[in-house]
A = this chain, B = another copy of it.
Amino acid sequence: MRALSRRSARERESLFLVEGPQAVHEVVFHRCDVVKDLYIDAEAASRHTAVLEVARAGGVSIHEVSQEVLAAMCDTKVPQGILAVCRPIDIDLDTVLAAHPKLLLVLTNVRDPGNAGTVIRGADAAGADAVLVSDSSVDIYNPKVVRSTAGSLFHLPIVVGVPIPVLLDRVGHAGLTLLAADGSGESQLADVDLAGPHAWVMGNEAWGLESGVREACDSAVRVPIYGKAESLNLAMAATICLYASAYVQRADPISG
């Protein structure tokens, strides 16, 4: 079980771990169809009755185990008495594009699990239609990614494993404008038309987007820096861009 904290084991078994009350609550309430087993200790079982009820109704196998067994199964240092073993939640790019998305987030070469998770959480909060994670990025089933999405991994469609050139080509052909988020982009966020369907393309936390990716996009957009900071971090930049899109698309502009 513990081996599932390694990517190779997750891929071989086609299973991943969801640890802790909040994440397990979210997967059980939003994607009970992917939950295979739920492991819980006696203390947690007495506290999380609603989760157990929904899981049982959804056909999940529930196993009451000791704290020690649970601790040995977990990636986290402080397991909180509850853990789910789940099947992959990612879906086909075709399915995402068939739903006529208006706002997508594309991640390429994002390597830090905490950043990837936080960005997925931001995309969820901003109401993005899906997140597309290219095959050169961190594994979204990494326990650190799962934790840092704070449940958002189970709230919106996620596509994984598609090479970035294919992602950009398919999304562009589906009629979405490709906006490269880039600190040195030629357009400023406030000057970009965000009303139509579009995808934000975000690159590596340290070195940004590769030039080939930037060139494959329709424009490169920068978040304005009003102070002396050199840049924003990936999660902040992504969230600002996605919220800017949400405000405009939902006809809910920020105004004085």
The chain A residues found within 8 Å of chain B, CB to CB, are: 30, 118, 121-128, 150-152, 155-156, 189-190, 193-195, 223-233, 235-236, 239-240, 243-244, 246-248, 250, 252-256
> What does DSSP make chain A's interface, helix, strand, loop or mixed?
loop
Give A237 Cβ to nearest chain B Cβ, in Å.
9
Q: Given A248-B255, A252-B224, does the pair A229, B190 have CB atoms closer than 8 Å?
A: no
Contact A190 B253 (CB under 8 A): yes
Query: Mind listing 11 A-B residue pairs with CB under 8 Å?
Result: A123-B227, A125-B226, A151-B229, A190-B247, A190-B252, A195-B256, A226-B246, A235-B235, A236-B236, A248-B255, A254-B254
Q: Given A232-B122, A239-B236, does the pair A127, B227 have CB atoms closer than 8 Å?
A: yes
Q: Which residues on B sit within 8 Å (CB–CB) of A227?
A: 123-128, 152, 155-156
| Cα–Cα distance between A25 and B244 once the two chains are bound (Å) | 32
Q: Given A194-B256, A240-B240, does the pair A229, B118 have CB atoms closer than 8 Å?
A: no
Q: Which residues on B sit within 8 Å (CB–CB) of A250?
A: 226
Give A146 Cβ to nearest chain B Cβ, in Å.
15
Give A45 Cβ to nearest chain B Cβ, in Å.
23
Contact B248 A239 (CB under 8 A): no
